[in-house]
Structure 1
Amino acid sequence: MQIHNLSEKNSVLNHFLGQIRDINIHNDSMRFRRNIERIGEIMAYELSKELHYSDVEIQTPLGTKKTTQINDQLVLCSILRAGLPMHQGFLNYFDSAENGFISAFRYHPNNDDYFEIKVDYQAVADINNKNVLLLDPMLATGQSIVAVFNKLIEKGTPKEIHIAVVIATPEGIAHLQNHLPENCHLWIAALDDNLNEHNYIVPGLGDAGDLAYGKKL
């Protein structure tokens, strides 16, 4: 798996990452959603450098100009509900992409720390021979992304797989490396220290879905 850690160099990306973590700022849900969207836009720009392009010639009011355009067919697939603001950020840049949405959540059958990943809903475009961009803000254990990936490939065979997350852990990355194809790309905006005893990211930022849309039952 090829890993792209975008926070290794200073940029405005780190500025937005700081804001979504700051407890004095991130309880503003609208600002939190907008910052996640802006992080998605920055990640989309960086990811675009790995896509394939074809030469085209366009007509301007005063002549013609040779340029390039994206040659890949893209499918943006986000994990509900936390992935929605990030999805919008990617869609702002890849505006002609097709889209997919899948629900995945931690199910605690014994009301303790043990959990299973439940994938209940999906509405996904045809992914055959297309570049699938799988979007989820938090890569904690990695189990959700693996479960969603396995559900996706029941529907077809992508040309390329790009996974984009805002915050990742070493444990989550290792899980993806052990369970996903080697030719996947993993894009992360920040790499955090570890998981705590409840499998939440430390230092992390809390529950991204709750911060974006309010607490759930």
Structure 2
Amino acid sequence: MKIFNLAKENSILNTFISEIRDEKIQKDSMRFRRNIERIGEILGYEMSKSLQYHTTNVATPLGNCTMSLLNNDIVLCSILRAGVPLHNGLLNYFDTAENAFISAYRHHKEDPDSFEIIVEYLACPSLENKTLILADPMLATGQSMLATYEALKPFGKPKNVHLVSVIGAQEGVDFIDKNFSEDTSLWIATIDPDLSDKGYIVPGLGDAGDLAFGEKLQH
């Protein structure tokens, strides 16, 4: 798998990451959502450099201009609910993309420290021979990303797969590296070193879904 970790180079991206981590600033849920959205825009811009383009002529008031434009064969899929702000950021740049949404959550059984990934809701167009962008802001264990991808397989085989995350744990990155094909690309804003005993990224930022949309009732 090709891994593009944007934290390896200093940029304005660092400001947005620091703010979503800061426990004081992240209390402003609107700013938290906007920062995730802005990170999605930056990730989308960097990813766009690797996508396929075609040449076309554009008529201006003073003549014609030859331009290389992005091929319109993208399906953008996000994992609900935490993925919505990230989805919006990517959609701001890939505004002609088709869209898919899937719910995937951790179901804790008798042992609160163990869980399984449950996929319930899924709405998706055909993926056959298209570019799939699968977005999940938090790449912790990597199990949600893999479960989501497996659930999408009945909708066709994409020609390219791009995974997009805001923060990942090294363990989760290693997991998807082993379980996705070599031609898959991961675009991630930063990678943290550890996972907690309950499978949360450390230092991370907490629960992205709760910070964006409020606390939820547990199943």
- Which TM-score applies when normalising by structure 2? 0.97
Does the 8 A contact of 2:119 with 2:148 survive in 1?
A: yes
In structure 1, C-alpha distance between the alignment counterparts of 2:74 and 2:67, rounded to whole Å: 20
**Contiguous gaps of at least 5 residues in structure 2:** none
SS at match of 2:65: strand
Q: Is 2:85 the partner of 1:77? A: no
In structure 2, C-alpha distance between the alignment counterparts of 1:4 and 1:214, rounded to whole Å: 31
Report the CA distance between 1:126 and its aligned residue: 1.1
Identity of aligned residues (%): 54
In structure 1, C-alpha distance between the alignment counterparts of 2:37 and 2:141, rounded to whole Å: 23
Pairwise mapping of residues 1-217 of structure 1 onto structure 2 (< 5 A)? Answer: 1-217=1-217
SS at match of 2:165: strand
Deviations 1:23-67 (A, max 9, x none): 110010000000000000010000000001111111001111111
Does the 8 A contact of 1:196 with 1:202 survive in 2?
A: yes
SS at match of 1:206: coil
**Contiguous gaps of at least 5 residues in structure 1:** none
In structure 2, C-alpha distance between the alignment counterparts of 1:59 and 1:137, rounded to whole Å: 39
What count of residue pairs does the alignment treat as equivalent?
A: 217
Does the 8 A contact of 1:51 with 1:72 survive in 2?
A: no
Report the CA distance between 1:183 and its aligned residue: 1.1
In structure 1, C-alpha distance between the alignment counterparts of 2:209 and 2:152, rounded to whole Å: 22
Does the 8 A contact of 1:33 with 1:85 survive in 2?
A: yes
Runs of 4+ in 1 over 4 A off after TM superposition: none
Report the CA distance between 1:111 and its aligned residue: 4.7
In structure 1, C-alpha distance between the alignment counterparts of 2:111 and 2:197, rounded to whole Å: 15
- Which TM-score applies when normalising by structure 1? 0.98
SS at match of 2:106: strand
In structure 1, C-alpha distance between the alignment counterparts of 2:98 and 2:123, rounded to whole Å: 11
Query: Which one-letter code corresponds to 2:94 in the other structure?
Result: F
